[in-house]
Amino acid sequence: MNGNVKRHGNNHHEVQLDHGALHVFASDELFSAFDAKVYEMADNNLRIPRNVYMGYTPDVHVGVGTCIGTTAVWRARDGFVSPSIVGVDIGCGMRVHLTPLHKRDIQDPAVRRQLIEAIERYVPTNERTNSHYADIDIMEVVKHGLRGLPDKYVLDARWLTHVEEATFKFDHAFLSELPAKIRKNAHGQLGTLGSGNHFIELQTLELAEEARSTAEQWGLFDGQAVVMIHSGSRAWGAMLGREFTKSLKETMHLWGIENPDPNLIYAPAVSQEGKTYFNLMYSALNFAVANRHMIAFGVRQALKDVFGEDFELPVLYDLMHNYALKEFHRNEAMIVHRKGATRALPPGHFMNAPAYKSTGHPALIPGSMGTSSYIMVGREAGAKNFYSICHGAGRARSRRATKELVTVDQFAQSLKVGTEDEILVNHRSLAAILDECPQAYKDVDQIIDSVTGAGLAEVVAKCKPMAAIKGI
C-alpha cells in the first residue's frame, strides 16, 4: 500500500492515497491483511471528481470496478452516480421475521427437515423455476414497490412500515427506456430466492446483555427462533445494471472521460444519463424489497403448514446494502453509494422508520453459512462513516479458489454434520454449494468486533443458524 496512514481512535484508519483520503474501519489485524488491490480500486474511485467521502468497512474485498464494503459520497447538486459503486445486484439486502418459537421447538432434526421441505414448496430455489405469484403485475411492483402488490399479500401494517422504504419514488416515464428483454427475463422471478450467497435461514437468538432493553422493545427474546432472508432484485436489477454499465461506458468514451479501471463507470447525477440511471435504479430497489416480501410470504405459508393456521410471522425489518440514495448529511443533500454496506442509523435520527425512531432501526448483518449472523443498531459515532457498517463477513477467497482449497469433508465439519447440533441444509450434496462454505469467508466475529470497536454500531442479538436454504 502506498500512502500515509493516520489513526482516528479505535479501528479508524485514514489512508491518504494519490487522489484523496480513504477511511478504513477495521481492527489492526484485519487492516494489515488487506490486499493492495483494495487500495488501488479506492484510488481509482477517488479519481471521480468532487468526491466528498470514501470509506471501507472491515469486510471489504475486491469487486468489479469498486470493492464490496464501500461507502462513497458526492453532493447531490454537483456529484456523480456510479453503477459500478452500486453493484449489479441492485437492492440486494436483508430481512428478518420473528416467530413465537423457541430453539427447543425446532431442535429436532426431523422438524427442521420438515420446515426446509415446506419452505421449498413455496419459495423456488432453482433458477429454472418460476414464481408462484403469476397474479402480480411486476410493472406495478417496479413502479410502487410494496404498494404495488395486491392487498391479499400485504398481511398487516408492519409489512409496510417495518422496512427501510416501502416505495422508492421515481419518475415512471424513464421506464420507457428499458429494453423489453428486461421485463421478459424478470417475469416470473418475484418471490424467488436466487443463487450465490442468497439464502433463507432459520436461526435462534442470543441477546447481548448491554442491549437487552432495545431487544425487548423490538420483541426479541433469548432462544427465539427467527427467519433471516437474503436476496435482491434478481434479473430486473442484474440486467438493468449490465445495460447501463455498457451504455455509460460508451458515453464516457464520447465525453473523453478515462479511468485506469475500465470497469468503473459513472456519470454526473444531473446529466440525462445520470438521471436515467438513478430513476431506473430505484425501480430495481422496488423490485428487491417486494421480492424479499414475497419470499417471506411464502415462508409464512410454509410455517403455517407445519405449525397450524394461527401461526404468524411478524416482520422485524427489511433493509438493503447495494444502492445509491439521496440523503441529507452535514446540512446538505448527498448521494450516498453503499456497495456491500448497510445503513445503521442511531436512536432519534430523522431518517429512521417511525417505528424505530426512539431506538434506531435493526441493522441486519449475515454471517456465512455455518457461522452466526447479527442484529445490530447504529450509534451516533456512525456519522463519521455516513452511518454505514459492514454487510456481512466478506469473502476471503474466490469461488474458484474455495473449490480448489476446501474439501466437502471440511465443509461438513463446519456444519457439524452427524451431530445433534448439525446445521441442516436443503441440498443433499454439499458439493453443489461448496463455494458458499464458511471457509470462503472472513471471520464474521472479527468483522463485528471491528464495527463495534469503531463505535459505528453495537450488537443487539447474535443469530445462530439451525437450518439454511440455498438456491442453485
Is residue 244 part of an annotated ligand binding site? no
Is residue 230 part of an annotated ligand binding site? yes
Is residue 310 part of an annotated ligand binding site? no
Is residue 63 part of an annotated ligand binding site? no
Is residue 373 part of an annotated ligand binding site? yes
Q: Cα 96 to the chain's mean position, in Å?
A: 12
Is residue 368 part of an annotated ligand binding site? yes
Is residue 198 part of an annotated ligand binding site? yes
Is residue 105 part of an annotated ligand binding site? no
**368 and 420 in contact (C-beta within 8 Å)?**
no
Distance CA 154, CA 384 (A): 37
Is residue 132 part of an annotated ligand binding site? no
Helix, strand or coil for residue 262? coil
Partners of residue 215 on adjacent β-strands: none
Q: Which three cell numbers stand for residue 116?
A: 426446509
> Would you call 391 a catalytic residue per the annotation?
yes
Is residue 394 part of an annotated ligand binding site? yes
Distance CA 10, CA 88 (A): 33
SS (H, E, C) 141-206: HHHHHHHHCCHHHCCCCHHHHCCCCCCCCCCHHHHHHCCHHHHHHHCCCCCCCCCCCCEEEEEEEE
Residue tagged active-site, from 19, 349, 391, 427: 391
Residue whose C-alpha cell is 463519521:
384
Is residue 311 part of an annotated ligand binding site? no
Is residue 367 part of an annotated ligand binding site? yes
Distance CA 228, CA 209 (A): 22
Residue 131 per-residue DSSP state: P
Catalytic residues: 391
Binding residue numbers for GMP:
197-201, 321-322, 366-369, 373, 391-394, 470
Binding residues for Mn(2+), as ranges, are 89, 198, 230, 321
